[in-house]
Structure 1
Amino acid sequence: MLRSLYSGVSGMRGFQTKLDVIGNNIANVNTIGFKGSRVMFKDILSQTVSGASAADDNRGGVNAQQVGLGVSLAAIDTVHTPGSAMTTNVTTDLRVNGDGFFAVGTTAQVDAPYLTRSGNFTLDASRNLVNAEGLHVMGAEGAGPIVIPDDIVSFSISQNGDIMGVDATGATVATGQKIGVVKVVNPSGLEKIGGNLYRMTANANPDGALTVGAPGNPETGTGTLISGQLEMSNVDLTGEFTEMIIAQRGFQANSRIITTSDEVLQEVVNLKR
């Protein structure tokens, strides 16, 4: 059987995966805090027809002769470039200006929360600061879930995560609450679990360790918080549509390889006539 048949099949499978990734990126073009992905390919181990030989006193060296066997996926990377800012003027809407992720989870997940760049938070009936799925927003330095005291008329959130309140007398009071941010060494190593959430892995931080620190810390390099803004998706539609055209043409070219290989095999079969 012709090797080109299997090479064409591997190419079609690879470009199909690329189209799947592009489709997901475009579908999430307006998803808050979404980070697009990209597909990287690599060639499959080549079959050696003849090996290389070194030069001697009589003749020069000869290069190896190898036939490639197709393509496979090298990686599906999550691209963590920042998305554009959308101003909402809602106090509990937060954007990380720089590196870092919000830590969210249940009360049982204080030591191992999920991570997210989506900062569309709200207050529930118990004055807990939560995300759209009801997961608690964690405070800095292991402080646990953020709870806004009920004796506060209004509150604001500073760039370093401090929550300042105004009481009934109009005086400014410190709530003692600070929103936490997690710095990740390799954000592409995080595992997507849906709902704009990521799970820590051993390839994201050393040993999968997770520390909820303070925003705007120059020692750890965490970004500051911007209240009243949200981070939009970082998907570039122009680039995605261009990659879609490339993937479509690549898929068509590989299908033509299969068609041509089939025609060659048909000619071989017809030799018996």
Structure 2
Amino acid sequence: MDRLIYSSLAAMRGAMSRQATIGNNLANVNTAGFRGEVTHAQAMWLSGKGLDTRATVSGEVSGADMSAGAVMATNRSLDVAVDGDAMLTVQAADGSEAYTRRGDLQMSDSGLLTTGDGKVVMGEGGPITLPPYDSLSIGKDGTVSIVPVGGKAQDVQVVDRLKLVSPKGSQIAKGLDGLFHEISGGTLPADPDAKVTGGSLEGSNVNASSALIDMIDASRSWETQVKMLSTAQELDKSAADLMRLPD
């Protein structure tokens, strides 16, 4: 009987993990450059003095859907859509390099160039700091240029070049911070051939309709396991009644 209970509990844990992932994907359906997360269920056998006959489930985010999202023209000078499979380099909370497709860039109060969620954008010379400017443009190769305050249109100054990297030949994984990291803890080299499209923004690649269908499916899976637990309880009660001695 306990095998049936363990099986149901394991399935319920898997359904919970799946629901959490789907919920996060739906919450980011309008987040620029977001890559939908994918969960992976793995059996974890409970070891003891006897045979390993019981297993639970480890449900965790194992990767992300790397398909491209729709690109929309915004005509905003700080918006960039990264072409191909290249990524922008940003600074993670611990100071290490991380990677994202989010191109809704902003200028902080201190002049730092950041993503829409506040991550500092890295250039080939380190964090990019923008001086006061009248106009700004980002070239196809990621070069950030400005016309200083009071300057003439031809007085263009190059600030830095976005550090664009390609994950080809390397292993990256999506962390809890929503950023991609090199699995071994290293950094990816700059890709001189990577390109961006200025004045455009790549949207999330999450399909809201498919995500809702997956959520309904996970909910029904949960309900099925709850019914199985109720069945196990009824079977246990019936067995106990059979073993009861008559008065």
TM range (shorter): 0.7 to 0.9
Following superposition of structure 1 onto structure 2, how do residues 232-271 of structure 1 map, counting pairs within 5 Å?
232-271=203-242
For 2:77, the equivalent position in structure 1 comes to 91
Once superposed, what is the RMSD of the aligned Cα atoms? 3.0
Larger Rg: 1
2:119 and 2:217 map into 1 onto residues whose CA distance is 40
In the alignment, is residue 158 of structure 1 matched against residue 139 of structure 2?
yes
For 2:185, the equivalent position in structure 1 comes to 208
Q: Is the 8 A contact 2:112 2:120 kept in 1?
A: yes
SS at 2:121's partner residue? Answer: strand
SS at 1:200's partner residue? Answer: strand
For 2:49, the equivalent position in structure 1 comes to none
C-alpha change, 1:2 and 1:228, in structure 2 (3 Å) is same
For 1:31, the equivalent position in structure 2 comes to 31
Q: Output the TM-score relative to the length of structure 2.
A: 0.79
C-alpha change, 1:39 and 1:199, in structure 2 (3 Å) is closer
C-alpha change, 1:135 and 1:11, in structure 2 (3 Å) is closer
In the alignment, is residue 117 of structure 1 matched against residue 101 of structure 2?
yes
Deviation at 1:230, TM superposition (A): 1.7
In the alignment, is residue 178 of structure 1 matched against residue 164 of structure 2?
no
For 1:76, the equivalent position in structure 2 comes to 61
C-alpha change, 1:208 and 1:238, in structure 2 (3 Å) is same
SS at 1:208's partner residue? Answer: coil
Any unmatched runs of 5+ in structure 1? 47-66, 218-222
Q: Is the 8 A contact 2:18 2:59 kept in 1?
A: no
C-alpha change, 1:86 and 1:261, in structure 2 (3 Å) is same
C-alpha change, 1:253 and 1:136, in structure 2 (3 Å) is closer
How many positions carry a matched residue from both structures? 233
Question: What amino acid maps onto 1:103 in structure 2?
Answer: T
Deviation at 1:227, TM superposition (A): 0.9
For 2:121, the equivalent position in structure 1 comes to 137
Any unmatched runs of 5+ in structure 2? 47-51
C-alpha change, 1:71 and 1:82, in structure 2 (3 Å) is farther
C-alpha change, 1:270 and 1:136, in structure 2 (3 Å) is closer
SS at 1:240's partner residue? Answer: helix
User: More deviation in 126-135 or 253-262?
Assistant: 126-135
Deviation at 1:93, TM superposition (A): 0.9
1:22 and 1:179 map into 2 onto residues whose CA distance is 32
